[in-house]
Each structure stands twice: as structure tokens, then as C-alpha cells.
Amino acid sequence: MPTVLTGWAIILTAVLSGLFGVHAIRRPFLTAALMKIVKRSLPKISETEQTALDAGTVWWDAEIFSGRPDWATLEEFNVSGLTKEEQAFLDGPVEEICRETDDWKIAQDRDLPEELWQKLRDMKFFGMIIPKKYGGLGFSAQAHSAVVLKLSSRSLPLSVIVMVPNSLGPAELLLHYGTDEQKDYYLPRLATGEEMPCFALTEPKAGSDAASIQSHGVICEEKIKGKKVLGIRLNWRKRYITLAPVATVIGLAFKLSDPDGLLGDKEDLGITCALIPRDTKGMSIGRRHDPMGIPFPNGPIEGKDVFIPISYVIGGEEGVGQGWRMLMESLAAGRSVSLPSLSLGASQLATRVTGAYSAVRRQFGLPIGKFEGVAERLARIGGLTYGMDAARQLTCAAVDAGERPSVLSGIAKAYLTENMRTVFLDAMDILGGAAICRGPKNLLSRAYDGLPIAITVEGANILTRSMIIFGQGSIRGHPFVPKELEAVAKNSLEDFDDAFWGHINFTVCNAVRAGIDGLTAGRFLKVRGTAKARRHKQLITRYSSAFVLVADVSMLLLGSSLKRRETLSGRLADALSWLYLATAAVKRFEDEGSSKEDELYLDWFCAHAYQEIETALLTITHNYPVKFVGTMLRLRLFLLGRKAHGPTDMQNIALANRLMGDLGGREKLSSDISVSDSPDDAMGALEQAYRKIQAVIPLEARIRTSRKTGVLKGVAREDLYQAALEKGVVDDDEFQQLLEAQSLADAVVEVDDYSQTAYKRLKG
């Protein structure tokens, strides 16, 4: 009997070895059948979807999908700072504009003053991304980001007005796709603000699904001054178009057809982009939307039977039908800069304001930041701001290095705007009445009002998270999925065989690694760097292998249905995104010298990131479509239970103290914003009160000691300063310092109030 069993075992082993191990047997008998199954199960991807998926480049996202990120590559990657010219612009013109900007007045007047508009033109704020040979500033993505960041800390309308011409729009599209004639004509005018651009994409029936635009053009010929001119007859309705009310040249996206074959045999030519002067006959422009009361120009544009020459198409006749590719490739880089920078500027503002206010505002005889409930929120404000800045710097550096990181730019846009929302909700809670009573003294309410705008534009965050980040990342960044799809498209059995079985081998090996990493918390992984950086690299690698295992099992098991499982895709996006954000924090920590003081920032942010990653992966396993598989994944990855519980209470308290001034933390975490020193300005008044309160801390400590055990024991809190003077605890100069500090603090805590008449005139 044992001999028979041994024989059958040998035969079975030989069959399986031949079936799986011998190419000549495996390919025709097994791989061919699998390839047919994959072909049938693949979702239908439209040309526009494929263009979106192919846009941009793959960078660190591919390292995350490998399950074993190459940390040496990241260490060698240079996140360069600003050039002397860029820093001079930031210290000069940008600071000048910030000093002259009165955000409350802008809110009441519903516009920037004309002299400010003119200064922005004269100083070439609208030409930051335009090369010098066309009259622009030719700034890097880092510099562009730094300018938007600083402006947004002063005024949201100001930052949006500057941001849009330098983001996805006519200048960006012309630089990459315009004809020489178009570049020579428009770029110098855009650089100086002689032309004000907008780009019209969104419309009533095409928002997140921008490829479904209804705006339509038809190739035709029209007589102009007795000559036949080849052109396009256009009809469109667009809305939510930033700068539309003041634009002089409109970038327009529309579907184009050629029913008479004037350009060739193809009737449906696809999405096309054109530049149309404002005074073109048939265009209706100038009406305004009111986005959350934030007074930046935004409005609808309509066109009825508008004729434009074919030369208005970006790229000329060769640009016909290339509009969707242009938009997706530009968006792949554009989302890395503008909105992430705006989000960070707002978050640094919240950091600086709440840090000071928590030290100045007192309740029960203590600065409110000393209460643990407030400290927890303060810590989250500072910790998230640190990580957001790390992600901004790393992503902008990738763009400057020539990358167009479509997946990572989506992460930067979606998760930095979401983190900004968290930061501001915490800041509003801490400031309480001072944050909800509108007026010139309120430093946060107007930025708070604008939160939904950043969440919505350049790809709504719900869509970006649930459909795009993981969907595009898995197709582009995975080491085997792109090869499998390409093999199926080419109908190459040999290539599919190599890719598919390579994928299976990768998944099995990674499953083993992920299990070991989970049991050991990655402690035996070999990485370089300081002890603190090494530990976080080990943990990020551990979570990377766990993420990839869940992703691979989901792709192999669920196939095309994964596209429809948006909650699963969204949670995988959460894990992928927080892996990238944690990576950026480690990179920043090392680039800034791995100082002992900075360990708190890194530890806090990474602890938060690991908690988000574990939450995403564990939630997937608990909700997995196939319960048994979900249970197996959970046991494989988290056999010893959940390990990431977020920052500790001690870390929160320490970080809160940093925000209130310890070790220069408040300055470090808000170093890039504009800070007024004028006592007539709300920020300047807060800064002055904060400095005075900090200066009298030793005097306050002396008084507290005397109240507990000395001559001031039993004295009522409101009588302490006078009693301290009378009992000799403080001298006359110290008494005056205490009174001045208290007076400045009281003034900061006060909020604006109005007469009935003035109240009815309030705007914004």
C-alpha cells in the first residue's frame, strides 16, 4: 500500500510539475485557458478612460506596489530648495503683496482692489510657470508652491486668483502642446497679465465624469472677408469656471465632429481644446457664481453658434482630438502643486494661530492649551501640518525632476485637502467664539468657509479616493499587472504566460514576506539611516507588503468586479496614500538632518499614518466580499492583533507644547506663511500678545507658587497681580509687564461686534 501511494504521489508531482513548470506544457493547456478567462473578465475601458490611466509617469508609487520599497533610491533623490532668485521673489514681491492685502476688506468689497490686481500683473505673478524667454518668471514647482502657500495664508481669494493662471489652463497647455505661433502670441501676454485666462471644462452634465462633456463643435467652412476659412462651429454651456468673469481668453474643452470629412475620413474626432478670445461673437460671459461667499471670480460661460478658425485649436490642426490627452497629462503634474500648497498654507496659518491663542487664552487660571482635550487637538493640527509639508515638498520635487506623477498627485490633492479640513475643524473648536464671529479680528473663518471648494475642484475627493488612486495605481504601478494587460491587448500568449505566472509567484512570495513582517513588525528588515528613520522605514515596508497582498488577492480573486467595489478600492487608496505620506515624512526628517528635536514630529505623524493604514486594511478584511478570504488575510497580516493605535497621550501633550512655543515648534511648523508684525492687524496683534504672555511666564510661575504656599495664599485670582505687587512678589516694572500682557491678551480674545446698520451691510 505505501508503495502504491508513493507511486501516485510521484505521478501527481510529475503531472503538476509538468503542468506548472514546463512552458511547453503549461502555455497551451493552462495559460491559454486562463488568458481567455482574463480577456472575458476584463472591464471594458473606453478610449478616454485609457488615456486617463496612461497619463503621467510612475514613481514612488511603483516602489510601494513592489512590497519592498527601494529606500536607497529615495535617499539619493534630491529635494532641492529655492534658487536665490526664487527666494528673493518670495521675500520681496510676495511679502509686499501680503502686507498690502486686507482679506476682510476684500470680503466686503467682493474683489481685490484694482491697485492690487495691477501689482500682480506688474510683478508677473500670473507668469510664474511661463519660461523667461516668453517674459515669464520660469519658476520651479517648488517656488510656485511656496508662493501659493504664502499667499493662501493671507487671503484665499488672492491665492486662488494667482493660482489658477499658473495651474491647469491655457499657459500650461500652450507650453506643452501649443504651436510656435500660439506660444509667441499668448505666452508673453499671459505672463504680464495683459491676457487673463480661464479654462472651461465642467458643465451641467459633466463634472467628475469630465469625459462626458456635451459641449460640441463641428468642422465647417465659413466665408470671412470673402475668403473661405476652415474652422469650427461651437455650442457649449460651462459652469464653475474660475476667473471666467474677468477672463480675456478662454480655454475650452469640447467634443469635435467632422460630418463632411473636411479633415479626413473620421467623423468623431474626440475631445479638443481651443483658445477663444473673450470678444468672439456668440459667447456669453461675465455672470458670476458665489462659491461659499469667497470673492474670487467664478462663473458660467455659454456659447451659441460660435465660429472659430481651426488655428484656435491648441496645437493647431494637429491638436484636433488630442484635448483629453492634453488635459490628463497636464493634470498629472498640476494637481501636485496648487491645491496641496493652498491646503498647507491654510494649515500653517491654523497652526500658528491656534498655537498662540492656546497660550494667550486662559480658563480656570491656565492657558487652554494645557488642558489635555485641547492639547489633543493642537497636536493633531501640528502633526498633520508637518506631514502635509513633507508630502508637498517631495511631490513638487518629483515634478521638478521631470516626473508627472499622476497617482501621487491625486494623493497629494485629495489627502492634503482632507487633512486641511481636519486641521481647520480642530482649529475652529479650539478658538470657539473667536473663530465663529466674523470680522477683521477673525483669522480663520474665511479660510474655513472655503474648505469645500478645495475638496471639490480638480477632481472631487470622493471620486479620486474611491475610483482613481488605487485603480490607476494598480494598473500603472504594479510590477506585473501592466505587463498582463499589455499581453492580453497584444494577444501574446508567451508574454501573458511570463507576466501571469510571475504575478502568481510574486503574490506567493509576498504573502510569505507579509506574514513574517506582521509577526516581527518588520524588525529584521535591512534598511539604512539613523535608528529612528530605520525603524519607520521597516514599518512602512511591513505595511507595504501587507497592502500589496490585499491588493493582489483582490485583483486576482475579484477581477473586473473590483472596479465596481468602490468602498474596497477607496480603502486600498487610503492604505496606499498614507504609505506615501509616511514615506514623505521620513524623507523630510532625513533631509533636515534627523535631529533629535524633530523625532517627535516624525513619530507623531507616522503613528497617525500607521493607524490609518491598519484601519483601512482591517476594515477591508472585515468587509471582504468572500468572508473566508477576508478572515485568512486578517490572520495572515494581523495574527497578533492590531498594533497601530495612533499617537500616545504623551506625544500629544509634548507636541501641543511645541505649538505653544517649546523648542521653536510653532515657528518651525508655520515657517512658510506671511506673518504680520503690525498691531493694527489681527495676526500682528495676536503675535504681540503671544510674545508678551511668553515673556511673563516666569512672573506667573512665581505668583502661582506664592499663591499655593506663600504670602498670596487664598487671594482671589482676579486680585493676584495687585496683591503680588503689594506683597513684594513682583516689583513695579514686573507689575506693569503683567498688566500689559493681560491687556493685549484681553484685546485678542475680544471679537468684532456691529451696529444694526453695519451688520446688515456685512458681506462674505
Which residues are catalytic, by number?
458
The DSSP symbol for 227 reads E
Rounded to whole angstroms, what are the CA distances from 465 to 408, 470, 566, 571?
Answer: 12, 8, 9, 8
Q: Do strands 197-200 and 249-257 pair parallel, antiparallel, or not at all (unpaired)?
A: parallel
Q: 10 Å Cβ neighbour count for 445?
A: 20
Are 580 and 391 in contact by the 8 Å Cβ rule? The answer is yes
Beta strands 366-367 and 362-363, pairing class: antiparallel
Instruction: Determine contact, residues 212/205, Cβ cutoff 8 Å.
Output: yes
Q: Which one, of 332, 353, 409, lies nearest residue 682 by Cα?
A: 353
Query: Please, are residues 68 and 544 in contact by the beta-carbon 8 Å criterion?
Result: yes
d(CA 461, CA 628): 32
SS (H, E, C) 12-56: HHHHHHHHHHCHHHHHHHHHHHHHHHHHHHCCCCCHHHHHHHHCC
Cell of 233: 462651429
Q: How far apart are CA 85 and CA 88, in angstroms?
A: 5
Residues facing residue 235 across a β-bridge = 216
User: What does 112-124 look like in DSSP terms, one character per residue?
Assistant: --HHHHHHHHHTT
HSE, CB side, 13 Å, CA atoms: give it for residue 679. Answer: 8
Could you list the beta-strand ranges (E) of 182-267: 197-200, 216-224, 227-242, 249-257
Radius of gyration of the chain (CA): 30
Q: Where are the beta strands (DSSP E) in 434-576?
A: none
Between vectors from CA 450 to CA 446 and to CA 455, what angle results, nearest 5°?
A: 155
Q: Identify whether the C-beta of residue 365 lies closer than 8 Å to the C-beta of residue 700.
A: no
DSSP β-bridge partners for residue 200: 252
Residue among 380, 367, 481, 465 nearest 424 (CA) = 380
On whether the CB atoms of residues 379 and 656 are closer than 8 A, the answer is yes
Cell numbers given for 248: 480675456
Start-to-end Cα distance in the chain: 89
User: What's the grid cell of residue 139?
Assistant: 519658476
| All three cell numbers of 573 | 487608496
- Residues near 132 by Cβ (< 8 Å), separated by ≥ 6? 138
Cell numbers found for residue 564: 465596481
Query: Is the CA virtual torsion 200, 205, 207, 213 positive or negative?
Result: negative
SS (H, E, C) 286-324: CCCCCCCCCCCCEEEEEEEEEEEEHHHECCHHHHCCCHH
